[in-house]
Structure 1
Amino acid sequence: FHGLVIYPLFGDISHDFVTDGYAHALYFTIFLYGFIIGRDERLWTSIGNLRWPLLCLAPLTFIGYRLLADTTSDDASPVQWLSLFCALYLNRWVWLLLLLGWSYRLLNRPWRWLPAANRAVYPWYILHQTITVVAGYHLARMGLGPVWEPLLVLLATVLGCWLIYRWLILPVRWLRPCFGVWEKVPANTRAQRAAAADRTSNRTQHQPG
């Protein structure tokens, strides 16, 4: 849908806040999918079970997409453009599911640092693109080459996100909701609330009508 309907209306991604309808639709859809399926355990199990087939399929979808992209000219027929878009989105989804499947299998454990990392995800998501663009702009002017420049952009992005999150967002309480940081609730408090809710439910059920 995005490639066949929205892309012809707006063209390539421009990162313009107002006119880049294609990017807004594409990334919002991915964000919405994550929100919907985030707690669907059966779906995550299915994706995890497909990790090996996806690992074999991903290079093939990439090669197929590159072959079509390199052989599709500007005056190609509608069928050729349709094939290219189908290959493009198939490749994206296969790689996305591949990363999700292996992450689920390898990282879905009760790591001690996981609650803190989950709490930091949304602030980092908000911050990373701005830091990446600013760092990339200044580093590109230094002519560091295709190795050092992306490495330094990555380092600046990670370090910048961590510093702003750790030393600005967390200490300033009123900033936390602006970046989607929830207040931590101790595990014993959650357990007490659940027990209290159970007791209330039991009393309600046993009250005479």
Structure 2
Amino acid sequence: MELKNTVRFSELDWLRVILIFAVFLHHVCMPFNGDGWHIMNNDSSKMLDDIMVYFEQFRLPILFFISGVGSVILLSKVTVVKFVKDKFLRLFIPLLIGSLLVIPPQVYMENIVEMQSYWQEYPSLALKFETNHLWFIEYLFVFFLLAIPLNKLFSSSLGASIINFVQKLSKYKIGLYLLVTLLIIIKVYFSLTFPIEDKKIENLSSSAFYFFFFISGMLFVRSNIIWQAICDQRFYNLLLLVFSTILFYSYYYSPDLSEYLSLDMRWSIWWLVCCLVAWSAFLTILGYAQFYFTKTPKWISLSNELIYPFYIFHQTVIVVIGYYVIAWQAPILLKVISLFALSFLVTSLICWYLIKPSNILRFLFGLKPKNNVVPVAYHRVAGGI
């Protein structure tokens, strides 16, 4: 597969930065929503929790979609061996280093009352190889390996039939929205089969849900017809998002239904409305991003280069600084603003002054050598890939 007449996917450059920033903002707010995070403020905001539960339905799914797009583009440019090597260097090594160096401070701050000094506890903390928020990188590593046979499948006659079917669906205003039916089946089935909340890769209630978006990225990028339909139908998808949002919060605020519905049925309805929001938000955001984000300014290119180590470090910085911020005698809003500003500043400084200039640290945290930097870019092909 060869890329010709490429045009940059500026919308994906923008979305990648915006969504990682949204993840950062989400984690800044976590100590204050009463949800039992690594560190928790004594007081919590129910309204904050009610807002956060909505946005967490689609931030990460869209990032997995973007990664699916990227897998097809990279596989069209390099051999499978080079593809695997790239993912080992840029995903597995940062995951390992992150588990050894970045995650232990989080675990320590979470259990600081029960522990001795950090350096005394460090060996046992590091050898646990916990991933915490780096589960996202673990998922990507596995998904990218699975992308190799999937890419061959989509290049076959069977794959062409699948793409052709989705192209026909995309001609209808709610055609692509109907694919949510498959997402709902996947989510409900695996969530009932794996009734656990963790983010381990073997927990298919989580990984299969995100993999659906990854595969969608691999499929949609192969067709300019599908991609253009998402842009053209953005307003209709926005209406569907409004409809899905109304259903979501109607059920979220519904009275106790335990007298009428079993526990499995109540959870199934919840997963259903979550899928409706996730899929309609994905289509809406991608459609409007295509329309408005037509150019990639230099600062977005630079942000795309450093957004990866920013993601790796951000939660640890938030937890360490947040441990002290939540002890303040101050209103929640002031604490949130302070934690946001301090964490953003410290994480940015780490990325700019420690990671960016050092080839050793760039290697350990998934960046290319500074004398060989190619900004993260996503390209479309005239006529499809």
User: In which range does the TM-score fall when normalised by the shorter chain?
Assistant: 0.5 to 0.7
Q: 1:44: Cα distance to partner?
A: 4.1
CA contact (8 A) 2:191 2:205 kept: no
1:63-109 per-residue CA deviation (whole Å, 9 max, x = no partner) reads 21121233354563344432221111111222233333323322230
Q: Which amino acid aligns with 1:98?
A: T
Partners of 2:212 and 2:329 lie apart in 1 by 34
Does 2:292 correspond to 1:106?
A: yes
TM-score normalised by structure 2 residue count:
0.40
Does 2:211 correspond to 1:29?
A: yes
* 3-state SS of 1:180 partner: coil
Match of 1:55 in 2: 238
Q: 1:117: Cα distance to partner?
A: 2.0
Match of 1:158 in 2: 344
* 3-state SS of 2:253 partner: helix
1:170-206 per-residue CA deviation (whole Å, 9 max, x = no partner) reads 11111112222123159xxxxxxxxxxxxxxxxxxxx
Over the aligned positions, Cα root-mean-square deviation in angstroms equals 3.5
Does 2:228 correspond to 1:45?
A: yes
Q: Which amino acid aligns with 1:133?
A: V
Match of 2:364 in 1: 178
Does 2:275 correspond to 1:92?
A: no
Q: Which sits farther off after the overlay, 127-136 or 25-34?
A: 25-34
Q: Which amino acid aligns with 2:277?
A: N
Q: 1:37: Cα distance to partner?
A: 6.5
Partners of 2:266 and 2:245 lie apart in 1 by 17
Q: Which amino acid aligns with 1:184?
A: V
Query: CA 1:67/1:101 → structure 2, altered by over 3 Å: closer, same or farther?
Result: same
Does 2:314 correspond to 1:128?
A: yes
Partners of 2:267 and 2:356 lie apart in 1 by 48
* 3-state SS of 2:345 partner: helix
Q: Which amino acid aligns with 1:25?
A: S
Percent identical residues: 21
Query: CA 1:19/1:101 → structure 2, altered by over 3 Å: closer, same or farther?
Result: closer
Q: Which sits farther off after the overlay, 160-169 or 138-147?
A: 138-147
Question: Which structure 2 residue ranges, 5 or more long, are not aligned?
Answer: 1-185, 376-385
Q: 1:53: Cα distance to partner?
A: 2.2
Task: Map 1:183-202 to 2 at 5 A.
Answer: 183-185=372-374
Task: Map 1:74-93 to 2 at 5 A.
Answer: 74=258, 76-77=261-262, 78-93=264-279
1:123-178 per-residue CA deviation (whole Å, 9 max, x = no partner) reads 22222232233343332222533422332333233223311110000111111122
Aligned match of 1:11 in 174, 183, 196? 196
* 3-state SS of 1:99 partner: helix
* 3-state SS of 2:314 partner: helix
Partners of 1:149 and 1:95 lie apart in 2 by 30
1:24-62 per-residue CA deviation (whole Å, 9 max, x = no partner) reads 626853784587469657254333333222333323312
Partners of 1:66 and 1:85 lie apart in 2 by 13
Question: Which structure 1 residue ranges, 5 or more long, are not aligned?
Answer: 187-209
Q: Which amino acid aligns with 1:105?
A: F
Match of 2:187 in 1: 2
Q: Which sits farther off after the overlay, 144-153 or 115-124?
A: 144-153
Query: CA 1:185/1:122 → structure 2, altered by over 3 Å: closer, same or farther?
Result: closer
Q: Which amino acid aligns with 1:91?
A: V
CA contact (8 A) 1:132 1:157 kept: yes
Higher helix proportion, which one?
Answer: 1
TM-score normalised by structure 1 residue count:
0.67
Q: Which sits farther off after the overlay, 26-35 or 93-102?
A: 26-35
Larger gyration radius, structure 1 or structure 2: 1
